[in-house]
Each structure stands twice: as structure tokens, then as C-alpha cells.
Amino acid sequence: MAAQNVIEGIYEKTQILECFPEIGYKYRDERDGQIRILLYGHYRIAYLIKQDAVEILGIFHGSMEIGKYIK
């Protein structure tokens, strides 16, 4: 039940990106857009803002070194 609550919470948090894609903090710029991080509890939601879309790159626990996974 706890895991399901976390999944639902992360999903609900990401829904704000539809209206406010720049709400997360800037991680770095890429050729095809900007990578930003949105926080949810102990988790970081990494996403790429493109010209016409937002692409979720991954969801990482705060203890993980995110740079190893986002190249």
C-alpha cells in the first residue's frame, strides 16, 4: 500500500508539468532541450523540456547519484 501511495503521489506531481514545465530546478541544458528536476519527497523526477513536449527521463531516490543515469 505504501508503494502504491508513492507511485500515485509521483504521478500527481508530474501532472503539474503540463501547465508549468519550468517548475523544477534546472539541472543542465542539452541540444534538444533543458533537463530539470522536480522534487517529490525523497525522490527526484528528471525530465527534459523540449519545444513541444515534456519527457520524463527517470525517477530517482535522493540518495542516488543522478549523473550516472542521465548522460
- pLDDT band of residue 71 (cuts 50, 70, 90) is confident
Cα separation, 13 vs 48, in Å, equals 15
Q: What's the predicted TM-score (pTM) here?
A: 0.91
Q: Give backbone dihedrals phi and psi of 24, rounded to 5 degrees, phi first.
A: -75, 165
pLDDT at residue 9 tops 90: yes
Question: Residue 31 sits in which domain range?
Answer: 2-68
Q: How many domains are contained in the chain?
A: 1
At residue 64, the pLDDT reads: 94
Burial class (CB in 10 A: 0-12, 13-18, 19+), 54: middle
Using CA atoms, how far residue 9 sits from 20, 37, 56, 67, in Å, is 17, 16, 15, 24
Tens of pLDDT along 15-61? 999 999 999 999 999 999 999 999 999 999 999 999 889 999 999 99
